[in-house]
């Protein structure tokens, strides 16, 4: 046994096991590194939706199979009520306001790195671990080695205190490596496909999901220049800035969404791909969150959506608000989305587009 393994054996880690390959390998690696490991399945959402059976029972069964393979205990923590209040309701409210929220970010902030962390520590854990592609060092959040899978965008609202109690064993690997490592260990979930769609909705689309909770009223799609009606929409709530597909406007040049008015239930479009509202150079952010101390520099790189390339920008902070001046305009930055800030490999935090 290495010294580090001896040290690790005193550390009890609760691993969030979702029944997917990433969290399964996370648990396996921690066992191999000598940690005392307990698996936890977070029961966040169990509701079936029309035409869509919620996969939670299958996911729990998969997590159990892997726990048996690794000879570790698996507990179930039930966060369904809190999840509905803090993640689902937030998402519905934001859509009603005509904004584009990110429920995965809220889930990490409120559930995985608050509720789960607190419940795990209260239950005897020293630390928690998840299958996120990210790295952490001394309470700082660093980008993963696999740029294509890096998930720091979704973790920017987690606190430094929570990160100092969190392990991300996959941060140093690429997704293909993770699959190979899971196969090499014969893990039951090695070939399981990654889940698609919203974290709690599975294969169902956002349209079908929101339709369960919001009264959807059709209305006019208007050309922003002439303010003439050019088509009909099936609910302004479903349209985001820059969207081109699903507008169902016939003939001629493609139209792009450049705005909407929720009170009037109107969606505004243009055929001009160079419309300035589609290409902002300045972004106003609210609800700023810093992982550590607020950043004192003024040059940052920003990511406006998961997997978007990092874009150089100048930052000016005003309390809980901030302004970003992009070096080059970026297409379709949408109210409600998150803009996440980086300095080199470190994720500093970010804010929500006003």
Cα separation, 18 vs 31, whole angstroms: 17
CB 136 within 8 A of CB 292: no
pTM of the model: 0.93
Active-site pick, 31, 54, 199, 347: 199
Digit-coded pLDDT (tens) for 147-180: 999 999 999 999 999 999 999 999 999 999 999 9
pLDDT digits (tens, 9 = 90+) for 59-110: 999 999 999 999 999 999 999 999 999 999 999 999 999 999 999 999 999 9
pLDDT confidence of residue 197:
56
CATH level 2 (architecture), domain 3-184: 3-Layer(aba) Sandwich (3.40)
Half-sphere CA count of 182, side-chain side, radius 13 A: 26
Domain with CATH 2.30.30.280 in the chain: 216-276
| Residue intervals in the chain for CATH 2.40.30.10 | 279-353
Task: With a cut of 80, say whether residue 201 has pLDDT above it.
Answer: no
What is the predicted pLDDT for the residue at 252? 83
107 is a catalytic site residue? yes
Q: Point out the catalytic residue in the list 31, 54, 107, 347.
A: 107
pLDDT top residue among 151 and 55: 151
Listing DSSP states for 8-41 in one string gives: HHT-EEEEE--SSHHHHHHHHHHHHTT-EEEEEE
Give the residue with greater pLDDT, 24 vs 253: 24
User: Is 199 part of the annotated catalytic residue set?
Assistant: yes
Give the pLDDT mean for 35-42.
98
- CATH 3.40.50.620 domain position(s) in the chain: 3-184
Domain covering 279-353 in this structure, CATH number? 2.40.30.10
More confident position, 244 or 114? 114
Does residue 199 have a pLDDT over 60?
no
pLDDT at 316 over 70: yes
Residue-level pLDDT at 40 = 98
**β-bridge pairing 73-78 and 36-43:** parallel
pLDDT band at 1 (very low <50, low <70, confident <90, very high): low
- Does domain 216-276 bear CATH number 1.10.150.530? no
**Average model confidence (pLDDT) across the chain:** 93
């Amino acid at each position: 046994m290495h010294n580090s393994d001896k040290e690790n054996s005193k550390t009890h880690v609760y691993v969030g096991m979702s029944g997917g390959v990433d969290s399964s390998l996370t648990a396996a690696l921690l066992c191999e590194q000598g940690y005392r490991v307990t698996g936890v399945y977070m029961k966040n959402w169990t509701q079936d939706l029309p035409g869509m059976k919620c996969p939670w029972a299958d996911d729990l069964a998969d997590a159990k199979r892997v726990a048996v393979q690794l000879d570790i205990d698996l507990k179930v923590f039930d966060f369904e009520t809190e999840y509905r209040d803090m993640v689902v309701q937030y998402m519905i409210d934001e859509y009603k306001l005509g904004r584009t929220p990110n429920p995965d970010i809220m889930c990490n902030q409120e559930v995985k790195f608050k509720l789960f962390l607190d419940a795990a520590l209260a239950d005897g854990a020293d630390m928690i671990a998840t299958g996120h592609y990210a790295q952490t060092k001394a309470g700082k959040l660093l980008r993963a080695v696999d740029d294509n899978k890096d998930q720091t965008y979704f973790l920017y609202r987690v606190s430094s205190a929570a990160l100092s109690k969190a392990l991300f064993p996959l941060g140093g690997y690429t997704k293909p490596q993770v699959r190979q490592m899971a196969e090499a260990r014969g893990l039951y979930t090695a070939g399981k496909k990654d889940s698609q769609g919203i974290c709690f909705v599975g294969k169902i689309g956002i349209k079908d999901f929101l339709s369960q909770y919001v009264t959807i009223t059709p209305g006019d799609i208007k050309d922003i220049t002439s303010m003439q009606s050019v088509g009909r929409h099936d609910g302004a709530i479903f349209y985001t800035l820059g969207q081109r597909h699903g507008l169902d406007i016939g003939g001629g040049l493609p139209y792009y969404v450049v705005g909407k008015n929720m009170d009037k239930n109107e969606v505004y479009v243009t055929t001009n791909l160079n419309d300035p509202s589609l290409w902002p150079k300045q972004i106003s952010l609210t609800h700023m969150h810093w992982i550590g101390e607020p950043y004192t520099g003024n040059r940052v790189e920003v990511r406006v959506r998961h997997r978007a390339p990092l874009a150089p920008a100048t930052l000016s902070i005003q309390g809980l608000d901030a302004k970003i001046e992009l070096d080059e305009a970026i297409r379709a930055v949408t109210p409600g989305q998150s803009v996440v800030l980086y300095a080199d490999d470190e994720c500093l935090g970010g804010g929500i587009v006003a």
